[in-house]
Structure 1
């Protein structure tokens, strides 16, 4: 005699299926959110530095500003800096002293990292890059740090002051004005900034020695690293 088939009870069936449906919907939503988050991360993550733009020295671009050139076999110290950064300003005389002490033994390279919280950091970088186009980068670099107390932390543009620095340096002012206003100059500064983000820079100054980021807790950490690199 055939066994009777159990008939589903309408009052129980929905209550048995609902938790499963909720779980499946929740999982689907979480997967969708994860995909969206991944897309956002991929879209916002800085691009890797363009291999074609790399310089011959470690941690540099082909157009990076090499202030001291001891040759390709010498250790290379790269500083990412913001001209308006007080810490960079405080480090400036120290770096100048280090450059003098290790003259002929190391390469020293400056790269831009204008912090968004500093009103005139980009203006200063543009002024330095415009001066660089006329072979006066180091002179403008020095002038900006030596006068930082006059213009740093102000919430109004001091591009006019930087222009007077350019005049004092004897630059062709028509060419300077074109460079400061031109998109190519800003793109040059932003290329350094983007590289810095990719390298994980969170503040300035940040130093790299032969492409390796230095974690500094005191000044001797920098000189110790240089001593080791130069074989002192």
Structure 2
């Protein structure tokens, strides 16, 4: 093979490489990125969420995912009660169940509250459990009999209470809140959402600061 042929072959290879590169660049320049799905955030307040205090349709909403055996939730209980009094008529407060698996009686407590809610007495049982948390929290045996005693003390129909406790739908209602909490990114308690935004809690003041930011 003479030198002229070799040069021709080399030049042809170079031309092919250049053409291919040009085509690749041209295609890349004309490609547009496909549509990116916007992130969706489910509301923290669902249609069946239990409302402690309703301030109307356009009010700021505070939703707490809680565990009745959680000491931090117990510590926040009087804080929330104080905020409810301070923002009555301005802020809607709701609770959702999030019983942590590491707490022996957290699910029993949530089921007891749900059974009370079916008789319109959610808040009475909710308050009783937090007020007595030191009596039953961290127990390593079922405290369901004690919760039944609380139900009797607040005046529930005990036949209906017992039926609700035994009904799988009552536990399923608790699980539904828990599952929705997980989907919202809840992993610990208490977790607060103010107008569907999870609040970063570093101090007791953070919840009120988040409320004030939405009101203003």
TM range (shorter): 0.7 to 0.9
Task: Find out whether 1:76 has 2:76 as its counterpart.
Answer: no
**Aligned match of 1:173:** 158
Structure 1: unaligned runs, 5 residues or longer: 1-47, 52-57
* Alignment counterpart, residue 215 of structure 1, candidates 180, 200, 209: 200
1:221: how far off? Answer: 1.8
Q: What is aligned with 2:72?
A: 87
1:201 is paired with a residue of what secondary structure?
coil
Does 2:192 correspond to 1:224?
A: no
Structure-1 separation of matches of 2:157 and 2:176? 25
TM (normalized to structure 1)? 0.74
Count of matched residue pairs: 177
Asked which structure has the greater CA Rg, the reply is 2
Q: CA deviation at 1:138?
A: 0.2
SS in 1 for 2:52: strand
1:140 deviates by 0.2
Cα distance in 2 for residues equivalent to 1:62 and 1:178: 24
Distance 2:207 2:118 in 1: 31
Give unpaired runs (5+ residues) of structure 2: 1-39
Per-residue deviation at 1:168? Answer: 0.6
1:96-135 superposed Cα distances (whole Å, 9 cap, x missing partner): 1111111111000000000000000000000000000000
C-alpha distance in 2 between matches for 1:94 and 1:175 = 32
**How far apart, in 1, do the equivalents of 2:60 and 2:44 lie?**
11
Per-residue deviation, 1:94: 0.8
Q: CA deviation at 1:220?
A: 2.1
Deviation at 1:219, TM superposition (A): 2.0
Tell me how far apart the structure 2 counterparts of residues 99 and 226 of structure 1 sit (CA, whole Å). 11
Structure 2 counterpart of 1:62: 47
State the partner residue of 2:103. 118
- TM-score using structure 2 length: 0.79
- 1:26 aligned partner: none
Contact 2:76 2:204 in 1 (8 A): no
Per the alignment, residue 199 of structure 1 pairs with 184
